[in-house]
Amino acid sequence: MRRVLFGGLVLAAVTACVSPVAGQDCQGDVNGDGEVNGADLTLVLGNWGLCLASISSVSPTQGGILGGTLLTITGTNLGGASEVRVGGVPCTGLEVVSPTAVRAVTPPGSAGAAEVAVTTPAGTVTAGTVFTYQALSVGSVTPNVGVFSGGTPITITGAYLNGVNSVTVGGIPASDVVVVNSTTVTAVTPVGSLGPQDVVVTGAKGTATVAGGFSYVLVTVPAWATLIEATPDPAVVTNAAYRSAIVATGYAWRVRHTQTQIEMLLVPPGTFNMGCSASIQYGCESDEYPVHAVTLTNAFYMGRYEVTQAQWTAVMGSNPSLFQNASVHVPAGQVPLRPVEQVSWNMIQGFNSSTGLRLPTEAEWEYAYRAGTTTAFQSSSGYPNGTNDDTLLGNIAWFNGNSSSQTHPVGGKQANALGLHDMSGNVYEWVNDRFQATYYQSSPSTNPPGPATGPYRVLRGGSWSVNSYYCRSSSRTADTPAGVGVFYGLGFRAARTP
């Protein structure tokens, strides 16, 4: 080694780089020629000055078009950062956390990708990761019709709805706005004006408008009822034609009979073919012929469920039912929700006299059961047009194939397209009509009331104790008005004219 005087300084020049450990690199050998010498110094001095920053990550990579997203940017040489831009627009709230991290708040932007850039004294560097501006959108508002007095729960679906803080209907704020997730928001409509109204949804990711997305209508709630829901829920009334027909009546769709607390759904007027619907396994009896068109000109309310033991007992003071005890299938707390049975047609008249309710006519019952289908069995999940397949009956009914020889709490099986449960099975349902085997041959085509005379009354729908033959939509059974059906399960479903 030799010493060289350079500018008053003594530099140690090493003519060769020898590593003290075999295979170890010399840190000063910038050009990699195996020596630390003037050539290395030239390279170092040539790069004298501030080091350019680098960006390794941007988090988060998505945010709303209104801005306000706090970004964290990591990398190297960020200690002197003076500005962060997203999409060429300066961010606010710049904070230099350390030489390797800065934070800033995004400005408003347009939906889509935007470059992220950081400026330091050494210059501006652009991140390899873009920031994506998201704009909320609304796909549907359900239900889209409600009473003008407000109070209709609505569900809004779309995209990027997280952060929604305002929903207006017709320019008036809705109440109880709840962000369920990024695709769903719920709210309750305010008092409004009749007719279509714009629905406007606002949040951190922008504003979306559904022109005419909700219509206010005038509906009548019967004096004997308490309103539950003014217009049909599409998830319950799955038949769109029936939803429109229900709204057209001007009556509230879903109410509760105030005295008994029986929940009732509106069945709109309409025309259907009454009579034989054979299943795959069973044909029809002669009393189901001929198939004939029937028109019901008036809307009516039908119990959503069969009348329960609790509802009967509250009115009549005693419970005649056979199945009053808990079982392995029905815990004690649900026994009151079993349908009342061992009730005769005559006994029901006392219940109805006390409550103002009535039994449906046979035509009303079959029309409500079918709910637009022409098959042996009502619609169910996967079978919106009904089915003739006896093996599918268990989806909608408690019958001898699945009941374990007992009744079950109402509403445990799938509803039909009008939202009515247990129209097949569980208990037979008395209707108002007298029975006559040949009645269909001469019955009126409009609002048939049943025969004027006869010793028997009609029962419909089958029960827990019978097979699929008796659970068909057109199957007819009868008993004397005093019959209670100990071994068959005779019950009923309430109806009422608005």
* Same-domain status, 208 and 82: no
Q: Where are the alpha helices (DSSP H) in 333-449?
A: 345-355, 362-370
Query: Hey, what are 229's tokens?
Result: 């829901």
Mean pLDDT, range 457-461, rounded to an integer: 98
User: Does 488 fall in a domain?
Assistant: yes
* Same-domain status, 62 and 35: no
* Same-domain status, 280 and 398: yes
- Residue 149: the pLDDT is 81
* Same-domain status, 430 and 384: yes
CB–CB of 130/149 below 8 Å?
no
Where residue 293 falls among pLDDT bands split at 50, 70, 90? very high
Q: Which of 80-89, 233-242, 258-267, 278-287 has the lowest mean pLDDT?
A: 233-242
**pLDDT single digits (tens) 418-433:** 999 999 999 999 999 9
- Residue 219: the pLDDT is 87
Query: Hey, what are 236's tokens?
Result: 């319950």
* Same-domain status, 388 and 460: yes
- Residue 6: the pLDDT is 36
- The domain total for the chain is 4
CB–CB of 440/292 below 8 Å?
yes
User: Does 232 fall in a domain?
Assistant: no
- Residue 143: the pLDDT is 82
Higher pLDDT, 131 or 151: 131
The answer to whether residue 348 scores a pLDDT higher than 80 is: yes
The answer to whether residue 210 scores a pLDDT higher than 60 is: yes
Helix, strand, or coil (residue 372): coil
Where residue 35 falls among pLDDT bands split at 50, 70, 90? confident
* Same-domain status, 437 and 388: yes
* Same-domain status, 341 and 438: yes
Mean pLDDT, range 321-347, rounded to an integer: 97
**What's the domain range around 15?**
2-46
Neighbours of 95 (CB within 10 A): 13
Nearest to 412 by CA among 331, 488, 342, 489: 331
* Same-domain status, 356 and 263: yes
Query: Hey, what are 430's tokens?
Result: 């008395």
Mean pLDDT, range 295-324, rounded to an integer: 98
Higher pLDDT, 48 or 319: 319
Query: What is the CATH classification number for the domain harbouring 454?
Result: 3.90.1580.10
What is the SS3 string spanning the chain? CEEEEECCEEEEECCCCCCCCCCCCCCCCCCCCCCCCHHHHHHHHHCCCCCCCEEEEEECCEEECCCCCEEEEEEECCCCCCEEEECCEECEEEEEEECCEEEEECCCCCCEEECEEEEECCEEEECCCCEEEECCEEEEEECCEEECCCCCEEEEEEECCCCEEEEEECCEECEEEEEEECCEEEEECCCCCCEEEEEEEEECCEEEEEEEEEEEECCECCCCEEEEECCCCCCCCCCHHHHHHHHHHCECCEEEECCCCEEEEEECCEEEEECCCCCCCCCCCHHHCCCEEEEECCCEEEECCCCEHHHHHHHHCCCCCCCCCCCCCCCHHHHHHCECCCCCHHHHHHHHHHHCCECCCHHHHHHHHHCCCCCCECCECCECCCECCHHHHHHCCCCCCCCCCCCCCCCCCCCCCCCCCCCCCCCEEEEEEECCCCHHHCCCCECCCCCCCCCCEEEECCCCCCCHHHHCCCCCEEECCCCCCCCCCEEECCEECC
User: Does 177 fall in a domain?
Assistant: yes
- Residue 28: the pLDDT is 75
* Same-domain status, 330 and 359: yes
Query: What is the CATH classification number for the domain harbouring 109?
Result: 2.60.40.10
Where residue 66 falls among pLDDT bands split at 50, 70, 90? confident
* Same-domain status, 332 and 272: yes
Where residue 90 falls among pLDDT bands split at 50, 70, 90? very high
* Strands (DSSP E) found in 268-407: 270-274, 292-296, 300-303
**pLDDT single digits (tens) 357-402:** 999 999 999 999 999 999 999 998 889 999 999 999 999 999 999 9
Mean pLDDT, range 131-159, rounded to an integer: 89
* Same-domain status, 414 and 341: yes
Higher pLDDT, 351 or 241: 351
Where residue 46 falls among pLDDT bands split at 50, 70, 90? low
- Residue 305: the pLDDT is 98
Mean pLDDT, range 408-412, rounded to an integer: 98
Angle (CA) 278-281-286 rounded to 5° is 40
* Same-domain status, 385 and 453: yes
Query: Hey, what are 74's tokens?
Result: 């990591």
13, 29, 46 — which closes off a domain? Answer: 46
The answer for residues whose C-beta is within 8 angstroms of residue 454's C-beta and 6 or more apart is 434, 435, 436
Mean pLDDT, range 443-463, rounded to an integer: 97
Phi, psi of 495 (to 5 degrees): -135, 165
The answer to whether residue 27 scores a pLDDT higher than 90 is: no
